[in-house]
Structure 1
Amino acid sequence: MSAKVWLVGAGPGDPELLTLKAVRALHEADVVLIDDLVNTAVLEHCPNARVIAVGKRGGCRSTPQAFIHRLMLRYVRQGKCVVRLKGGDPCIFGRGGEEAQWLQERGVAVELVNGITAGLAGATQCGISLTLRGISRGVTLVTAHTQDDSSLNWQALAQGGTTLVVYMGVAKLAEIRESLLAGGMSGEMPVAMIENASLPWQRECRSTLNAMQNEASAFELKSPAILVIGAVAACSNELLNETLIDHAQLSAG
């Protein structure tokens, strides 16, 4: 593989959710810059690469973005294949677009490789279909963590009529609840709070908008976690689980 930077999504945590293209990029990598939330089990696909941890997690000490930029540029200019390995999908709250633009402005070849995002994987593992005929015709992904503390248009989100998936919202449950209620969302709107999406120790807490803050506290909800807010969060997971089993049996057969 010629020298370039691959911005690769490692998926939500389950190493079996890694894409084939991500596996190929890792196999051919000389250097891997790995984010904090990536499951290190996926590194079995790059046994000969130099692995450098460049952790970034909200509320914790993080590697400066400028330093990550310099590392990518340094190694690719040495003729190496660099994989920037990110949790979830690089272009969903992963700075993939920013990093790609920064590198391309300096003449570096870049390729983006999608990963399964935590909001999708976590919901599915809990038997929640983010869109469901007759209940939800769309889904909106937002992050509660903003660089400049700018506020989201919660009224528009409350009245949008789509399933709302909130990333990085554990520390802002009170603000999310109050903002959506003020925006006109019903306090009885179902909410699913999903911790460690797709991992064997994934946990979920089903609640309502009114009760979610107190129930999250009793549940001892911790990051990383996502919130699924909408009518689909109350749907029985029995039917979806049966569908997943049917697909698995068809694949095996």
Structure 2
Amino acid sequence: MNKPKNTLGKVYLVGAGPGAADLITVRGAKLLEQADIVFHDALVEPEMLALCPQATLVPVGKRCGKLSSAQQFINKRLVDAARKYQTVVRLKGGDPMLFGRADEELKSLKDAGIEVEVVPGITAALAAAASIGQSLTLRGISRSVAFVTLAQALESAGESKPLVNPTADTLVYYMGRKDAARIAQQLIEHSPNHGVDTPVQILEAVSTPRERQWSSTLSELAAGKADQWFDISSPALIMVGDALRESKVDQSQNAVESKSKVA
């Protein structure tokens, strides 16, 4: 509904979670039900948008290699919407505060005197770990995790580069598909914690019916073995680290199951 005259609406930066509509938080789902207008990322699933049939839907997503909305334009539209509507939702994939450029939107809204609230969401790395049943941390093996992105806004200049000598035990690369082989090669050459046989798990479209998994090692990734596997229409997450190695318990169980099947 339109807001009362001479008042400003409120903007909510809501985390949509990793993909599945039922993995949004209860607070996020309630806000979608109340929203007058929803500005949503390109990666938000149609089932998620079905939670707000009453709202005006505005796609403002950024997809690599495709026409997208410039961040400054998104900022302006949010400010304009708050001057017209009572409840404005900016729906972001994953968590708004992780690789979501929320800081720019928050600043623009606060500078305009508009009230804003952040509603966190489940980031893709946590959903991916749950999906494969392997923790990103492991006692005695992985005591640190780093979330990394090489993606840059189209309006940014310069070439992105993988981190040289990353120090975390487990590394999770967001939006790293086109740099996958280069990431692996650089880790092999420069990281003391990640050798050629370090496990790699790649997941696409985590938590959705389209989810796929590629499981191998850094040497295979560096050789470009995953290049043809990727689906460019799906978001991909690259996870690297010894914590992702199949445990001896799991291997023993798999061996028992294999023998019983043969028998």
TM-score (norm 2): 0.83
Are the counterparts in 2 of residues 123 and 194 from structure 1 also a CA contact under 8 Å? no
Aligned mates of 1:142, 1:111 — CA distance in 2: 25
Partner of 1:172: 179
Aligned mates of 2:187, 2:51 — CA distance in 1: 43
C-alpha displacement at 1:220, in angstroms?
3.8
* 1:210 alignment partner, SS class: helix
Aligned mates of 1:105, 1:152 — CA distance in 2: 34
Partner of 2:25: 19
Partner AA of 1:153 in structure 2: L
* 1:219 alignment partner, SS class: coil
C-alpha displacement at 1:121, in angstroms?
0.5
Is 1:153 the counterpart of 2:163? The answer is yes
Are the counterparts in 2 of residues 206 and 233 from structure 1 also a CA contact under 8 Å? no
Aligned mates of 1:76, 1:115 — CA distance in 2: 22
Question: Quick one: which of 200, 214, 224 aligns to 1:191?
Answer: 200
Question: Quick one: which of 195, 201, 213 aligns to 1:204?
Answer: 213
Are the counterparts in 2 of residues 128 and 237 from structure 1 also a CA contact under 8 Å? no
Question: Quick one: which of 246, 257, 263 aligns to 1:235?
Answer: 246
Is 1:32 the counterpart of 2:38? The answer is yes
Partner AA of 1:231 in structure 2: D
4+ residue runs over 4 A deviation:
236-239
Tell me the alpha carbon deviations over residues 3-57 of structure 1, each in whole angstroms, 9 at most, x when there is no partner: 2110011011111101011012111110001110011212232221111111211
Are the counterparts in 2 of residues 164 and 228 from structure 1 also a CA contact under 8 Å? yes
Among all aligned residue pairs of Structure 1 and Structure 2, give the percentage whose two residues are the same amino acid.
41
Shift in alpha-carbon separation, 1:74–1:161, aligned structure 2, 3 A: closer
**Residue pairs, 1:47-66, within 5 angstroms:** 47-66=53-72
Aligned mates of 2:85, 2:249 — CA distance in 1: 52
Paired positions, count:
236
Are the counterparts in 2 of residues 127 and 237 from structure 1 also a CA contact under 8 Å? no
Aligned mates of 1:47, 1:115 — CA distance in 2: 21
Are the counterparts in 2 of residues 154 and 183 from structure 1 also a CA contact under 8 Å? yes
Is 1:215 the counterpart of 2:225? The answer is yes
Partner of 1:243: none
Shift in alpha-carbon separation, 1:112–1:43, aligned structure 2, 3 A: same
Is 1:140 the counterpart of 2:146? The answer is yes
C-alpha displacement at 1:235, in angstroms?
2.5
Aligned mates of 1:193, 1:79 — CA distance in 2: 41
Are the counterparts in 2 of residues 123 and 228 from structure 1 also a CA contact under 8 Å? no
Partner of 2:237: 226
Shift in alpha-carbon separation, 1:122–1:6, aligned structure 2, 3 A: same
* 1:216 alignment partner, SS class: coil
C-alpha displacement at 1:153, in angstroms?
3.2
C-alpha displacement at 1:221, in angstroms?
4.7
Larger Rg: 2
Aligned mates of 1:30, 1:86 — CA distance in 2: 17
Aligned mates of 1:205, 1:97 — CA distance in 2: 33
C-alpha displacement at 1:191, in angstroms?
0.6
Q: Choose between structure 1 and 2: higher helix proportion.
A: 1
Partner AA of 1:53 in structure 2: P
C-alpha displacement at 1:78, in angstroms?
1.6
RMSD: 2.0
Partner AA of 2:59 in structure 1: A
Are the counterparts in 1 of residues 75 and 104 from structure 2 also a CA contact under 8 Å? no
Partner of 1:115: 121
Tell me the alpha carbon deviations over residues 161-182 of structure 1, each in whole angstroms, 9 at most, x when there is no partner: 4210000111011221222122
Tell me the alpha carbon deviations over residues 119-153 of structure 1, each in whole angstroms, 9 at most, x when there is no partner: 11122101121112222112100002134424343
Aligned mates of 1:75, 1:170 — CA distance in 2: 34
Partner AA of 1:164 in structure 2: L
